[in-house]
Structure 1
Amino acid sequence: MRNLHNLIVIVIITIIPKSLTIKSEFPDGFLFGASTASYQIEGAWNEDGKGENIWDKMVHSRPELVKDSANGDVACDSYHKYKEDVALAKDLNLNFYRFSISWTRIAPTGEMHKLNPKGIDYYNRLIDELLANNIEPMVTMYHWDLPQYLQDLGGWVNPIMVDYFTEYAKVLFSNFGDKVKWWITLNEPKETCRAYSNHSYAPYLNLNNTGYYMAGHIQLLAHSKVYHLYNELFRDKQKGKISISISGAFYMPKNESSVDDMEIADRANNFEIGWFSHPIYKGDYSPIMRKFVDRKSKEEGRPWSTLPTFTDEEIKLLIGTADFYALNHYSSRLVTSGSELDPSFNSDAEYSTFVDESWPVSIAPWLIVVPEGLHKLLVWIKNQYNNPPVIITENGYADDGRINDLERIDYIKSYLNSTLKAIYQNKCNVIGYTCWSLIDNFEWMDGYRYHFGMVHVDFNDPLRQRVPKASYQFYKNVVTNGKLDVQY
């Protein structure tokens, strides 16, 4: 019997396809990082010459808009405690630390003829501290904190922002580019668009889809202009890489046997992920997005589409303006046709969203745990855009701030597992992963209700004491060993 049993085992192993071979090791050279953003952690909102940004303006003039009337005036006090944060990143053995620069700390009004030397000095100290600890800085130029003066000029719905942003980027390249080799121009431009369309974030405007699409259009043009500026003046000497962090849920058909649901899911992904990916990788908005927005605009009796049109020259400037695909992803949804529209998603695309009742839900209602969605999204990006190198620039879990954060460990483990599946089963070119966030921080309109950090911050303590959580040790083990101790 033993010989027969061995024979059966051998036969079973022989017939398992190679694509299902289980691997827990990340590829050689795979990059691990953690993310933060300036307004969410720095504090020091009016110190050392920093100017007022749109979040400063909103939380001070309309504090009731944020849960518990919280603000980022002090936040994690990272402006003063940045060395502690770098030490935490060092102890994690991170390859890189992704942070954003506060535009108004560099230039109080956003205008580049009025620079703030103390702000430039601060970021040089932060970058130098990272490099001294063998951590690569990954710098995001814009993470939602627009100078209020530029917002008073119209902000991201004013085409002049293309030139303002380009001049700002030139200052960053000139002051930090010799030490920074990874750049993100804009973080989650889709969420910036929501801030102009449906009272989602600062500047808290309600310009509907007119503002929504215009803000996206101008951000794309600004990104492309900065990319070419780098190519023309800085790349040969500085030899860095540039991208734009594109966010989105992944949409899967509610009924996989339904041709209609499959088409709806693809359309939803073209609106969600494709909105900013398509122009950069293919030169223009996706045809399905153009068709549906143009049709809706015509039905509404508009003289032109709410989705602007690129000129031929702009299309040439846009295509190819990403050295890697920077992906922010947290959750997924099921889609089908219908009228039960979630206001978080785009009504022009004509789909309804659903969730499977078996999917775990975090303390943040929008963050539903669907690791298979990341796997499928990475495959979708591979197939749509010719398998570009992908760095997951944000992925993380919200809870109530507990130190023994086992749910966060489960989340990170399952999403890293899906990343491995995409790499080994589908040959997706994923080269890095970034956990959001290194430390608990100000979570925008939710204030301090939700905690995403691997390190606890006591916001009731004037010293803002940091305490590593269980997930910190888990992630440290993954980063240090380059291996996920779980099989899929």
Structure 2
Amino acid sequence: GTLYHWELPQDLEDIGGWTNPEIVNIFQEYADLVFKTYGHKVKWWLTINEPSMAALGYGGETFAPAAYENLTGVVEYQVGRNMLLAHAGAYRLYKRKYIHQNGKLSMVFGGLFCIPKTDHLEDRKAAERCFQNTYGWFGHPIFIGDYPPEMRKTIDELSRREHRNTSRLPYLTQDEIAYIKGTADYYGLSQYTTYLASDEASDKSNVDPDIAYPKFFRRRLMKDTGVLFSSDPSWPAESLYLYKVVPQG
């Protein structure tokens, strides 16, 4: 059973949706009702489907609610923090109150599966940044604790270059890190396709990313990775233009 797959009621969107910290408590109340009503039937729970993708809806028009485009690069990370805390709250509520139902809980981790465009060191690092800034954004706090160090370093440095007083990636308190860590009984993976990753600073292909890549990849969070995304022309295309058939990925 899935608690949230991007269908937030309008009344909650009207107070800021996932940008409002109060959503953490509201989500826990909602989870309590769902567990109480359906928990005797459901043994596998997903709290939030692909939070890394859902958060993009708060930085532009890619996904619902298609809002706050003027705050892109800031608001998505705030949303991510609230989603992590909401997920952890639902998980700990279940383990405290509904453990007798013998269910398993996690979230669906969505991201971009990247392989290096070349064997050059910079492209291999770019592929790793792709993983850390998408799958690791939520997976690292839950399974290891806190945000990935490379993601933290990158966003902090970009924020300094932008002359910001604070990092665009919120800092979790030690209590929040402990609260979030360990709140998954299994790893739920959403995988669609594979991308080639090259380092934006060293890629000399002279391809304009604003022309070559779909709007999704021009979102601020994708640019934060410092990665150029592409695909191998030999990969068969699926019916959706974004997706290529890459069995090894």
Fold in common (TM above 0.5):
yes
Q: Distance in 2 between matches of 1:369 and 1:190?
A: 22
- Is residue 204 from structure 1 mapped to residue 80 from structure 2 by the alignment? no
Q: Cα RMSD over matched residues?
A: 1.2
Any residues of structure 2 matched to 1:419-438 within 5 Å, and which? none
TM-score (norm 1): 0.47
Shift of 1:277: 0.5
**Number of the residue aligned with 2:13:** 151
- Distance in 2 (alpha carbons) for counterparts of 1:164 and 1:240: 22
- 3-state DSSP class of the match of 2:118? coil
The alignment partner of 2:107 has SS state of strand
| Equivalent position amino acid for 2:114 in 1 | Y
Please give the alpha-carbon distance, in whole angstroms, between the structure 2 residues aligned to 1:200 and 1:264: 23
Look up the SS of the partner of 1:358 in the other structure: coil
CA distance in 2 between counterparts of 1:302 and 1:192 reads: 25
Measure the CA separation in 1 of the matches of 2:157 and 2:216. Answer: 21
Q: Deviations over 1:32-91 (max 9, x none)?
A: xxxxxxxxxxxxxxxxxxxxxxxxxxxxxxxxxxxxxxxxxxxxxxxxxxxxxxxxxxxx
The Cα shift of 1:344 comes to 2.4
Aligned counterparts of 2:122 and 2:5: Cα–Cα separation in 1: 37
- From 275, 280, 284, the counterpart of 2:146: 284
Is structure 2 residue 118 aligned with structure 1 residue 255? yes
- The answer on 1:320 being equivalent to 2:196 is no
Query: What is the match of residue 372 of structure 1?
Result: 248
Map 1:380-459 onto structure 2 (within 5 A): none
Output the amino acid matched with 1:351: V
Unmatched segments (≥5 aa) in structure 1: 1-138, 374-488
Q: For 2:195, what is the secondary structure of its paired residue? A: strand
Structure 2 counterparts to residues 31-430 of structure 1, below 5 A: 139-205=1-67, 206=69, 207-235=71-99, 237-256=100-119, 258-338=120-200, 340-341=208-209, 342=213, 343-345=215-217, 346-373=222-249
The Cα of 1:360 is off from its aligned counterpart by: 0.9
User: Deviation of residue 188 (structure 1)?
Assistant: 0.8
| CA-to-aligned-CA distance 1:430-478 (integer Å, 9 cap, x gap) | xxxxxxxxxxxxxxxxxxxxxxxxxxxxxxxxxxxxxxxxxxxxxxxxx
Distance 1:247 1:202 in 2: 16
Provide the rounded CA distance (Å) in 1 between the counterparts of 2:65 and 2:117. 35
| 8 Å contact from structure 1 (residues 192, 215) kept in 2 | no
Q: Is the 8 A contact 2:23 2:86 kept in 1?
A: yes
CA deviation map 1:286-316 (0-9, x unaligned):
0000011111111111111111111101111
Q: Distance in 1 between matches of 2:60 and 2:151?
A: 20
Report the residue type matching 1:273 in the other structure.
Answer: Y
Letter in 1 for 2:160: K
3-state SS in 2 of match to 1:183: strand
> 1:107-160 deviations in whole A, cap 9, x for unaligned?
xxxxxxxxxxxxxxxxxxxxxxxxxxxxxxxx0000100010001010001110
* Per-residue CA distance 1:400-425 (angstroms, 9 max, x = gap): xxxxxxxxxxxxxxxxxxxxxxxxxx
For residues 5-40 of structure 1, give each alpha carbon's deviation from its aligned partner in whole angstroms, at most 9, with x where no partner exists: xxxxxxxxxxxxxxxxxxxxxxxxxxxxxxxxxxxx
TM-score of the pair, normalised by structure 2: 0.91
Alignment check: 8 A CA contact 1:140 1:187 kept: yes
Percent identity of the aligned residues?
41
Describe how 1:3-14 pairs up with structure 2 within 5 A. none
Q: Residue 53 of structure 2 contacts residue 111 of structure 2 at CA under 8 Å; is this kept in 1?
A: no
Asked which structure has the greater CA Rg, the reply is 1
Runs of 4+ in 1 over 6 A off after TM superposition: none
Structure 2, unaligned stretches of length 5 or more? 202-207
* Structure 1 residue aligned with 2:205: none
Aligned residues: 233
The separation in 2 between residues aligned to 1:335 and 1:201, in whole angstroms, is: 23
- Secondary structure at the counterpart of residue 344 of structure 1: helix
SS of the aligned residue for 1:244 comes to strand
